[in-house]
C-alpha cells in the first residue's frame, strides 16, 4: 500500500485494524485488476498489429505437452499468457497462468508453465 492509501483510511476512526488491512487489500486488488485490464487491452491491441511489447506471447519452442510445457517467465505468481494456438491464427487466446502446475490453453490445450524469476536490481 502507498502512504496515501494508508492516510486515507486512518482518517476514518471507526475502522478496526483488521478492517483497515482488509480495505487496503481490496483497494490494491481493485487497482491491480484495473491495471491488468488496461494492460490486457493494450497487449491485445499490439498483438493484433503483430507486435508484442510485453513479450506476452509465449513462444512455441517447447512441444507444449505436459512433459515439455512452454515456459513463461514471470516476476510475480501469475501472469497473462496469449496463445495463438495455431500459426497464422489471428485470434489470440488470453488466460491467466498461475505459479505451480503447468496449465493448458483453454482453446488448443497447449501446456504452459510459469517460470518465476527475480528482477535484477
| 85 touches Zn ion (CB under 5 A) | yes
Consult the annotation and say whether 108 binds a ligand. yes
Task: Name the strand (E) or helix (H) holding 83.
Answer: strand 78-83
The answer to whether residues 54 and 81 touch, using CB atoms and an 8 Å cutoff, is no
Consult the annotation and say whether 105 binds a ligand. yes
Which sign does the torsion angle of CA 28, 34, 40, 42 carry?
A: negative
Consult the annotation and say whether 18 binds a ligand. no
| 105 touches Zn ion (CB under 5 A) | yes
- Which candidate, 15, 35, 48, places its Cα nearest to that of 79? 35
Among the listed ranges 1-9, 48-56, 72-80, 86-94, the one in contact with Zn ion (CB under 5 A) is 86-94
State the number of binding residues for Zn ion (CB under 5 A): 7
What does the binding site for Zn ion look like in residue numbers (CB under 5 A)?
Answer: 83, 85, 93, 105, 107-108, 110
Amino acid at each position: 500500500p502507498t502512504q496515501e492509501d494508508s492516510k486515507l483510511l486512518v482518517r476514518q476512526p471507526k475502522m478496526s485494524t483488521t478492517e483497515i488491512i482488509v480495505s487496503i487489500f481490496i483497494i490494491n486488488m481493485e487497482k491491480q485488476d484495473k491495471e491488468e485490464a488496461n494492460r490486457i487491452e493494450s497487449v491485445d491491441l499490439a498483438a493484433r498489429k503483430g507486435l508484442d511489447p510485453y513479450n506476452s506471447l509465449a513462444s512455441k519452442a517447447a512441444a507444449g505437452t505436459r512433459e515439455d510445457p512452454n515456459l513463461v517467465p514471470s516476476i510475480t505468481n501469475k501472469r497473462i499468457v496469449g496463445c495463438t494456438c495455431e500459426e497464422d491464427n489471428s485470434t489470440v487466446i488470453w488466460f491467466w497462468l498461475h505459479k505451480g502446475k503447468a496449465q493448458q490453453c483453454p482453446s488448443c490445450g497447449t501446456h504452459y508453465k510459469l517460470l518465476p524469476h527475480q528482477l535484477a536490481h
